[in-house]
């Protein structure tokens, strides 16, 4: 017969420290166009559709770091520091910019959501203070998002 002991389950949970995932959400607005300069208009339109013309998005960027809460503060990472790091490494470079022209770390990159997420990951990795970058989600529109995980 199966015996359920809530008290025992509770204890086990507390005794086994596991990493906690903490997520910060930031937003930015940016313009982009999806096209390869070496392709003609027809091929660019075929592959990239409507995105082959200039347009913009209100992006949402979610950055998740993992770690164990500091016993003194109860925090994996101070959200103020995480917010500052994300703004320093990514947002201040891309907000209200044209992603094809204005951002040195995106030079030569077709700014699809996939590529942006990968480049943002590189910008952020190692900049997360006491937490470890674990997941990054970039929402491009209501219907599209991409996710990079370690």
Q: Which range of residues in 37-45, 49-57, 67-75, 124-132 is near Ni ion by CB under 5 A?
A: 49-57
Q: Which range of residues in 9-17, 48-56, 87-95, 125-133 is near Ni ion by CB under 5 A?
A: 48-56
51 versus 86: smaller Cβ distance to Ni ion: 51
Residues 6 or more apart whose Cβ sits within 8 Å of residue 115: 109
**Which tokens in the block code for residue 89?**
């490494």
64 bridge partner residues: 23, 135
Instruction: Give catalytic status of residue 93 as yes or no.
Output: no
**Measured at CB, which residue is nearest to Ni ion?**
51
63 versus 116: smaller Cβ distance to Ni ion: 116
65 binds Ni ion (CB under 5 A): no
Measure the CA dihedral 91/92/97/101, to 10°. Answer: -100
Instruction: Give catalytic status of residue 51 as yes or no.
Output: yes
73 versus 144: smaller Cβ distance to Ni ion: 144
Residue 137's φ and ψ, nearest 5 degrees, are -125, 130
Question: Which one of 46, 55, 68, 96 is the catalytic residue?
Answer: 96
49 versus 126: smaller Cβ distance to Ni ion: 49
Instruction: Give catalytic status of residue 114 as yes or no.
Output: no
CB atoms within 10 A of CB 75: 17
Binding residue for Ni ion, selected from 22, 24, 28, 51, defined by CB under 5 A: 51
126: left (phi over 0), alpha (psi -120 to 50) or beta: left
Spatial contact of 48 and 29, defined as CB atoms under 8 Å apart:
no
Catalytic residues: 51, 96, 140
- The residue ranges that bind Ni ion (CB under 5 A) are 51
């Amino acid at each position: 017969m199966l015996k359920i002991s809530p008290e025992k389950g509770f204890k086990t949970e507390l005794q086994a420290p596991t990493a906690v995932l903490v997520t910060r959400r930031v937003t930015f607005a940016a313009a982009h166009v999806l096209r390869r300069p070496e392709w003609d208009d027809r091929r660019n339109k075929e592959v990239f559709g409507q995105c082959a013309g200039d347009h913009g998005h209100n992006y949402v960027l979610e950055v998740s770091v993992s770690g164990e809460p500091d016993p003194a503060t109860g925090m994996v990472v101070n959200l103020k520091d995480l917010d500052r790091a994300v703004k320093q490494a990514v947002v201040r470079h891309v907000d209200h910019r044209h992603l094809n022209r204005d951002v040195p770390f995106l030079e030569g990159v077709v700014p699809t959501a996939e590529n942006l997420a990968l480049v943002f990951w590189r910008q952020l990795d190692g900049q997360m203070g006491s937490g470890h970058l674990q997941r990054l989600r970039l929402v491009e529109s209501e219907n599209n998002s991409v996710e990079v995980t370690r």
